[in-house]
Amino acid sequence: MTWSTADIPDLAGRRALVTGATSGLGYETALELLKHGADVLLAAREPEKAALAADGLARAANREPTVVELDLADLTTVEKAADQVGKTCDRLDLLVNNAGVMAPPYRQTADGFELQLGTNHLGHFALTGRLLPLLLKAPDPRVVTVSSIMHRTARGLTAADFRQPQQGYWKWDAYGKSKLANVLFMLELDRRARAARSNLLSAGAHPGYASTHLQAAGPELAGRAFEARVWAGINKVVAQSAAAGARPILYAATSPEARPGGYYGPRFEFRGTPKPTSPTRAAQDAALAERLWVWSVEATGVNPTLTVPS
């Protein structure tokens, strides 16, 4: 399969929300959506960075995005962000669950969850649930959840992982589990959409190894400047660009050929043009996905429903 951003169809009249859009994959995803005519909402935690990103995108795409303040590590702000979108938009055609943290030192979210599972999965689970009524008003809505090749390192997941204590914490194990949760959620959302006979398309993507600030963010939080510089050097030698890493995301978000429950990544796993790929056996465990859904409802207080609005 050969595909490039030139194959993105005209998106005029479609409204998209992209989380983590101030840099990296989210920025490149928002840029291409804007260039192809979509109205884009940038959901980001830091207002100053969001304003700078919005200005850069407006100049590059000659279209003005809208900023939505969102901190996925705080379920109260997730609710506020969804309310803001609901007050200004009559529908939402596309939600790209992209934002995330990778391998930081031990932290908890505002609600007491381990930071990576709390941000990468629970925050997006709650956001998706709260935005579903707007998505279901669109003729062909899509939710694209961004995972990682690191989901392959996780063999399973339990409810106790949400509130893992600092003792025994291993940052890469927690990251792998958060990315496993992303795929499990994406596939369970697809199963529930089909069972409800909804026209919602839930798909997933991973960027391979793309050069973004994500690799250095964890060491910077821990005050390890040398490690951050090492990651930056590795990125220059090994990684593909953020723009290239965003292509599987954009394929899942825009291609007429993207399938419900499809999972897309680079052709050569770490880099290359988009192609369909397969998540691990653990990620395709329907029973585990159903349990994760129940745990997530209990943790967030949000119960996503796929009832089509009347």
Q: What percent of the chain has pLDDT over 70?
A: 89
**Order of strands across the sheet that contains 201-205:** 66-69, 39-44, 15-19, 94-97, 142-146, 201-205, 263-266, 274-276
What pLDDT band is residue 234 in, cutting at 50, 70 and 90? low
Long-range contacts of the stretch 106-109 (C-beta < 8 A, 24+): 106/166, 106/169, 106/171, 107/221, 109/73, 109/74, 109/75
Contact (CB, 8 A) for 19 and 124: yes
What pLDDT band is residue 237 in, cutting at 50, 70 and 90? very low
Buried b (16+ CB within 10 A) or exposed e, 210-232: bbbbbbbbbbeeeeeeeebeebe
Q: Which of 175, 209, 251, 264 is catalytic?
A: 175
What pLDDT band is residue 70 in, cutting at 50, 70 and 90? very high
pLDDT of residue 215: 46
Element (H, E) at 201: strand 201-205
Distances (CA, A) of 196 to 100, 134, 191: 29, 16, 9
Measured over the CA atoms of residue 106, residue 69, residue 22 and residue 201, the dihedral's sign is positive
Could you identify the residue written with the tokens 């398309």? 201
Of residues 145 and 273, which shows the higher confidence score?
145
Per-residue pLDDT, averaged over 107-114, amounts to 98
What pLDDT band is residue 269 in, cutting at 50, 70 and 90? confident
175 is catalytic: yes
Per-residue pLDDT for 221 more than 90?
no
Q: Which of 171, 177, 178, 179 is catalytic?
A: 179
Q: What is the mean pLDDT of the chain?
A: 92
Could you identify the residue written with the tokens 């979210």? 109
72-91 pLDDT, tens digit each: 999 999 999 999 999 999 99
Could you identify the residue written with the tokens 């399973």? 156
SS3 130: helix
pLDDT of residue 99: 96
19-42 pLDDT, tens digit each: 999 999 999 999 999 999 999 999
296 is catalytic: no
Pick the CATH number of 5-299 from 3.40.50.1000, 3.40.50.720, 3.30.420.140, 3.30.43.10: 3.40.50.720
pLDDT of residue 145: 98
CA 157 – CA 176 distance, rounded (Å): 10
Per-residue pLDDT, averaged over 91-118, amounts to 97
Per-residue pLDDT for 256 more than 90?
yes
What pLDDT band is residue 307 in, cutting at 50, 70 and 90? confident
278 is catalytic: no
pTM of the model: 0.91
Boundaries of every domain in the chain: 5-299
Per-residue pLDDT for 108 more than 80?
yes
The DSSP call for residue 153 is G
Contact (CB, 8 A) for 130 and 78: yes
Per-residue pLDDT for 228 more than 70?
no
Per-residue pLDDT, averaged over 296-302, amounts to 98
SS3 275: strand
Backbone phi, psi, residue 203, to 5°: -135, 165
pLDDT of residue 212: 67
Q: Which of 27, 147, 177, 255 is catalytic?
A: 147
pLDDT of residue 143: 98
Per-residue pLDDT, averaged over 127-139, amounts to 97
